Amino acid sequence: MALRIAIAGATGYIGGRLIPPLLDAGHSARCLVRSPDKLRDRGWSKNPGVEIVQTDLADADTLAKNLEGCGAAFYLVHSMMSAGEEYAEQDRQLALNFATASRTAGVTRIIYLGGLGETGPDLSSHLASRREVEAALASTGVPVTVFRAAMIIGSGSASFEILRYLVERLPIMITPKWVSTPCQPIAVRNVIGYLVGSLAGPETTGGTFDIGGPEVLCYRDIMQVMAEELGLRRRWIIPVPVLTPRLSSRWIHLITPLSHHIAEPLAEGLKNPVVCREDRITKLIPQKLLSVRESIRAALSKMAEHSVETSWSMAGPIPGDPDWAGGTQFRDAREIVINAAAHAAFRAVCRVGGGHGWYAADWLWRIRGWLDVLAGGPGLRRGRRDPESVGYGEALDFWRVVGFERDTRLALRAEMKLPGEALLEFRIEALSANQCKLHQTALFKPRGLLGLLYWYAVAPFHGIVFHGMLHGIEREALNITKT
């Protein structure tokens, strides 16, 4: 039976991949999101079966109105990226609001993706938080279907990115003893298969199911499989008992794109065995389960084809552009006339960051990236989801897309550690069919004396970086026109 399905968390890693299979199954989707613009460039967003509704999950009354008419609701929200050490309480409160609103709106069932792990006092705070969310969702009487998964392997997932970066960059690893913890990973496509399949299986309503792939491996063995699939030599992995979750998270932050705020609860959770204790779901929703090697191979294939649908870095809040009015504000504005169509110049602008670089003085960008990592920022390691296209809310190295108007404007807000707020904006003005003007503006609003000192310290490099970037974009646009 076709249903209208609400999805809370549609801008996240799993939520963003869930909508196309839901539509293929004949359902319609109502995406409840904080920032609708983050979905504007998804291929499925213009489908007539998709509604995108701006929603604040903290507002139970408005949320209830937005849930009206929905037969089922997916709750795929996790606050860890945005709430720091208070993420657990925020997650519990948002889940309680969602449960209350669902009951008011007449939603018949909630489907939640949680985490595997034994219950009890030794459960990590990360996994304990998932259990609290389960209880909050079920607290108002709406039936809740819970799927508990361990490591999800898929292109762009946080677990996959940690694994890939560690294996690629460290031929020798001094690791915590958690590398020997048993784990039952699952491919992201199998997770989606269970989530969508549950709508056709009324017997899953109100049930809690462990989901995993066909293999149980320790993290050390998973790393070796990754090395083989990457074509690398076998990694030397040396476990030691002295690395705490905090130290482990700092180490993960240094080597991978994830901040230590995200890495610490994940690292703490690695101490818990995460193995399915029952397999009822395999009989209720049968599907081919990918092995760890098959899952890694599929993820790497997606990356090679530049067809990564969603990434862990796309989740989280996108604050509005800084209030640039008033106070001290620094501006570096440049422009250039380009003998190419506006769409060619825009394509060139959208190629900044990631493996393509920043068109000029990449060595300066790399130095700034390493300094940012040492200061606790993301550095350049997040790269970008796709080498050609970008969308609102996506990460570009240590920037975030906060403005996107096709062939007209791209605005990036800095997420590196800064004593102030920074914005880099590109505007394209069409002069004729084959000529346009590119306006490039860097804005910086300092915080205190340190912010002023920072601007004056980096200002001498702007002539190299921003002038070179402007002319690099021009060269790229002309090359695009030729091809």
Quote the percentage of the chain above a pLDDT of 70.
84
Which pLDDT value is given to residue 412?
93
What distance in Å separates the CA atoms of residue 118 and residue 183, rounded to the nearest whole number?
Answer: 12
Q: What is the dihedral of CA 308, 309, 315, 320, to 10 degrees?
A: 100
Residue 386: CB partners within 8 Å, gap ≥ 6? 306, 308
Which pLDDT value is given to residue 394?
87
| Whether 30 contacts 19, CB under 8 Å | no
Quote the percentage of the chain above a pLDDT of 90.
46
Which pLDDT value is given to residue 80?
52
The phi and psi torsions of 421 (rounded to 5 degrees) equal -120, 135
CA-to-CA dists, residue 48 to 26, 28, 29, angstroms = 12, 8, 10
Q: Which of 41-50, 121-130, 232-241, 315-324 has the lowest mean pLDDT?
A: 315-324
Q: Is the pLDDT of residue 124 over 70?
A: no
CATH superfamily of 327-482: START domain (3.30.530.20)
Q: Which of 69-78, 97-106, 375-384 has the lowest mean pLDDT?
A: 375-384
Closest by alpha carbon to 57, among 25, 88, 92? 92
- Dump strand ranges (E) for 290-347: 330-338
Which pLDDT value is given to residue 201?
79
Confidence tier at 325 by pLDDT (50, 70, 90): very low
What distance in Å separates the CA atoms of residue 175 and residue 218, rounded to the nearest whole number?
Answer: 13
What distance in Å separates the CA atoms of residue 174 and residue 220, rounded to the nearest whole number?
Answer: 12
| Whether 452 contacts 446, CB under 8 Å | yes
Q: What is the pLDDT of residues 403-416, one digit of tens each?
A: 899 999 999 999 99
Q: Which of 244-248, 363-367, 450-454 has the lowest mean pLDDT?
A: 244-248
| Whether 32 contacts 107, CB under 8 Å | no
pTM beyond cutoff 0.85: no
Q: Is the pLDDT of residue 7 over 90?
A: yes
Architecture of the domain defined by 151-187+211-309? Alpha-Beta Complex (3.90)
Q: What is the mean pLDDT of the chain?
A: 85
Q: What is the pLDDT of residues 247-293, one digit of tens each?
A: 666 666 666 666 655 566 566 656 678 899 999 999 999 999 999 99
Please state the domain extents for the chain: 1-142, 151-187+211-309, 327-482
Give residue for tokens 């946080």: 158
Which pLDDT value is given to residue 318?
39
Q: Is the pLDDT of residue 183 over 70?
A: yes
Q: Is the pLDDT of residue 423 over 90?
A: yes
Closest by alpha carbon to 235, among 225, 245, 246? 225
- 107 versus 127: the higher-pLDDT residue is 107
The phi and psi torsions of 368 (rounded to 5 degrees) equal -65, -35
Domain 1-142 CATH assignment equals 2.40.40.20: no
Q: H/E element holding 227?
A: helix 219-229
Confidence tier at 322 by pLDDT (50, 70, 90): very low
Which pLDDT value is given to residue 326?
37
Q: Is the pLDDT of residue 156 over 80?
A: no
What is the radius of gyration, based on Cα positions, of the chain? Answer: 23
Closest by alpha carbon to 414, among 364, 369, 474, 459? 369
Mean pLDDT on 443-453: 81
Which pLDDT value is given to residue 317?
46
- 111 versus 245: the higher-pLDDT residue is 111
Confidence tier at 473 by pLDDT (50, 70, 90): very high
Q: H/E element holding 186?
A: strand 186-187
Helices (H) and strands (E) in the chain — how many of each?
15, 19
Confidence tier at 420 by pLDDT (50, 70, 90): confident
Cα dihedral sign, 91-97-102-105: negative
Which pLDDT value is given to residue 246?
65
Which pLDDT value is given to residue 319?
40
- Dump strand ranges (E) for 200-305: 208-211, 217-218, 236-240
Cα dihedral sign, 134-137-143-148: negative
CA-to-CA dists, residue 103 to 71, 114, 205, angstroms = 11, 21, 15
Tokens of 95: 């889940």
The phi and psi torsions of 53 (rounded to 5 degrees) equal -120, 125
Which pLDDT value is given to residue 206?
93
Q: Which of 158-167, 190-199, 253-262 has the lowest mean pLDDT?
A: 253-262
Q: What is the pLDDT of residues 197-233, one digit of tens each?
A: 999 878 999 999 999 999 999 988 998 999 999 998 8
Confidence tier at 169 by pLDDT (50, 70, 90): confident
Mean pLDDT on 161-166: 81
| Same fold flag, 151-187+211-309 and 327-482 | no
What distance in Å separates the CA atoms of residue 296 and residue 159, rounded to the nearest whole number?
Answer: 11
Which pLDDT value is given to residue 373?
86
Which pLDDT value is given to residue 40?
80
Q: Is the pLDDT of residue 397 over 60?
A: yes
What distance in Å separates the CA atoms of residue 438 and residue 336, rounded to the nearest whole number?
Answer: 5
Backbone dihedral region for residue 393 (phi beyond 0: left; psi -120 to 50: alpha; all else: beta): left
